[in-house]
Amino acid sequence: MTSYILDAVRTPRGRGKAGKGALSGVHPQELLAPLLPALAERNGFDPQRVDDVVIGVVSQAGEQGSNLARNAVLASGWPIEVTGVSLNRFCGSGVQAVSFGAMGVGSGMQDLVVAGGVESMSRVPMGSDGGGTDGQNARLRETYFQVPQGISADLIATRERFSRAELDSFALGSHRKAARAIEEKRFARSLVAVRDRSTGALLLDRDELVRPDTSLEGLSQLKPSFVEMGKMAAGPNGETLDQLALRGYPDTREITHLHTAGNSSGLADGAAAVLLASERWVKESGRKPRAKILAAATIGSEPVIMLTAPAPVSLKALKMAGMTAKDIDVWEINEAFAAVVLETVRKLDLDPDRVNPNGGAIALGHPLGATGAMLIGTALDELERSDKSTALVTMCIGGGQGVAMILERV
């Protein structure tokens, strides 16, 4: 049976810094809650028919704890019969939520599912759940000492011999493409402005992080962000994080730190929701779906370098769909760090013109739990705008994992 996507909506992404971002005063449940009635209004369904709301959220602590999905359903004013479940597959959470929803409607066990994600990095910063990279399991660390992502990204750049100029030029492209997308209102179909739910005052109606005036010169002045972190003593014998990262890579003598605030994904606040339906519901309602899901896959990879799974997981999904990379019109590869996208493009020998045509997280920001669902909506909008057929969304994930999903327009 087929899993259909009927629609996708998202908030704009706000700067994920306390007191600085336009959404930093909004409780994360309240970021997600208005998207539910927005979906119902746009698609004319009775919320009572929704079988579940599946939401990715990474830092499940404080305001993002206590099953955010269920609380957001209640905060939205939807019927109490609608359930909510929150999940965490780190940065891949948003795609994972849509994937679980697709399994539900595709198996015939559910008819209508809302899947998406949320993250307020300004209110619940990365690391707030206290688990670090490995839940502080000293025994696991003897086998895998998982270092922070920035160090892994710099290790990838070092081993792939990417230059700082290559990373910065990719970042410049992300800003230019995102600025053009905003100028041409390419995100308009998905965007739902965020308002103060008590007063109705507009808080944000466009993505806040993009810097249209970004230049190569400006980018080149920025200091690498992870040098000091790499020098931190963290191992049992006082090894630094850089030394620990290199334990499994004896052919690399040292890590060249190249990622900066300019060529890494920005910290962001935001939420997204995708409406999924079963074949049965589509027939019964007579609604025309926007796309169907051809494949969804996850894969694990070496957990210390951590961010190299987008290529193998894309191949896994392509194989499941009986396709090759050349069959994909639009690639959305999450821009966690510039080196991640460049490595994936190189490994899969992709045409760069088909990759992230409207920029990505370097320009727009990466609200961890929400980004995957945002990328699915962006891919869908782009397929419709450019009258193309197929898209593949893939993301690197903490702990050495990757997720991919292939969509086809109906």
Ligand X SMILES: CC(C)(COP(=O)(O)OP(=O)(O)OC[C@H]1O[C@@H](n2cnc3c(N)ncnc32)[C@H](O)[C@@H]1OP(=O)(O)O)[C@@H](O)C(=O)NCCC(=O)NCCS
Active site residues: 91, 366, 396
Nearer residue to ligand X within complex by CB, 216 or 233: 216
Does residue 371 contact residue 334 with C-beta atoms inside 8 Å? yes
Nearer residue to ligand X within complex by CB, 112 or 167: 167
Beta bridge partners of 89: 91
**Site for ligand X contains 264 (CB under 6 A):** yes
Nearer residue to ligand X within complex by CB, 172 or 291: 172
**Site for ligand X contains 344 (CB under 6 A):** no
Of 266, 270, 377, 402, the residue at the interface with ligand X (CB under 6 A) is 266
Residue number with the smallest Cβ distance to ligand X? 261
Q: Among residues 131, 114, 2, which one has the least CA distance to residue 56?
A: 114
Site string for ligand X, 357-376 (x = CB under 6 A): ---------x----------
Nearer residue to ligand X within complex by CB, 259 or 290: 259
Of 75, 103, 222, 325, the residue at the interface with ligand X (CB under 6 A) is 222
Q: Which of residues 15-74 bind ligand X (CB under 6 A)?
A: none
Q: Pick the piece of the chain touching ligand X (CB under 6 A) from 3-11, 48-56, 263-271, 275-283.
A: 263-271
N- to C-terminal Cα separation, the chain: 15
Distance between CA atoms of residues 131 and 293, nearest Å: 33
- Shortest reach from residue 226's CB to ligand X, in Å: 7
Exposure on the CB side of residue 197, measured as CA atoms within 13 A: 15
Distant-in-sequence, close-in-space partners of 261: CB < 8 Å, separation ≥ 6: 222, 225
Q: At 315, list the tokens.
A: 């191949």
User: Counting every residue, how long is the chain?
Assistant: 410
Q: At 103, list the tokens.
A: 């399994």
**Site for ligand X contains 380 (CB under 6 A):** no
Q: How far is CA 97 from the centre of its chain?
A: 11
- Shortest reach from residue 195's CB to ligand X, in Å: 25
Q: Pick the piece of the chain touching ligand X (CB under 6 A) from 234-242, 261-269, 319-327, 399-407.
A: 261-269
- Shortest reach from residue 4's CB to ligand X, in Å: 30
Q: Among residues 345, 320, 319, which one has the least CA distance to residue 332?
A: 345
Nearer residue to ligand X within complex by CB, 341 or 350: 341
- Shortest reach from residue 76's CB to ligand X, in Å: 28
- Shortest reach from residue 366's CB to ligand X, in Å: 5
Nearer residue to ligand X within complex by CB, 191 or 339: 339
Q: Which of residues 273-332 bind ligand X (CB under 6 A)?
A: none
Of 75, 103, 232, 261, the residue at the interface with ligand X (CB under 6 A) is 261
Distance between CA atoms of residues 75 and 169, nearest Å: 43
According to DSSP H, which parts of 186-337 are helical?
216-220, 227-231, 241-246, 279-285, 310-321
- Shortest reach from residue 364's CB to ligand X, in Å: 12
According to DSSP H, which parts of 225-271 are helical?
227-231, 241-246
Neighbours of 388 (CB within 10 A): 16
For the four alpha carbons of 369, 374, 380 and 386, in that order, the dihedral sign comes to negative
Residues of this chain that bind ligand X (CB under 6 A): 91, 149, 175, 211, 214, 218-219, 222, 225, 261-262, 264-267, 336, 366
